[in-house]
Chains A and B, each alone.
Chain A
């Protein structure tokens, strides 16, 4: 049973426009959310995170929004650039999960293509 869902396998956006990647979760114990970015032939790299005590976190062109009541988060990229073309994974962790450590539960990923 998937606890972190990314329902859009792929997304195409024109360069300069906004990219919105969505993520839903079912486990109400999740209280920390992260986005990872993956280029072909490379491992995922951390992009941005948000704690459940916030509803927005911004880092340059990247903003993550969290709607706890809807169990939904989204990653906004503005403006989108061709170099942003990658697979984006949503991940979540819960306090006190597993022996006092914070393990990540990943979604399946969304492949973003930014068209020049």
Chain B
């Protein structure tokens, strides 16, 4: 089955210790997104890649970076995690962001704990 895979599902890191979250997709979609969802909050878009073009949301902290080495993989790097970065991180893909529906396909998420 074509899908969006996130590894690991649970990640524990220490305050200030860099951490990388991984996302891969078998859908061959052009766009990959990273969302942050804190408890009982709405998923919040951090950034997305349209092919190799990186698009950062205006209010995404500099502490968050992303890499997309190829179509299938996308990484979220948190350079110096703070306690406020503890959240569920959702990866999603879509075929074409110019498509009006722009249906997004989500992975199961990685829950990040910062100690």
Contacts and interface: CB of A to CB of B under 8 A. Distances in A.
Contact of B40 (A9, A34, A104): A9
Interface residues of B, number: 26
Contacts of B4: 43
Interface residues of A, number: 28
B42 A89 contact: yes
B5 to A, nearest CB: 10
Interface stretch (B14-22, B67-75, B104-112): B104-112
Interface string A88-116: 01000100001111111111110000000
B102 interface: yes
Contacts of B102: 93, 101-102, 104
Interface of A: 2, 4, 9, 32, 34, 36, 41-46, 49, 51, 89, 93, 98-109
Interface of B: 4, 31, 40-45, 48, 50, 55, 90, 92, 97-109
Given A46-B103, A102-B102, 7 more contacts: A41-B108, A43-B92, A44-B43, A93-B102, A101-B55, A104-B104, A108-B40
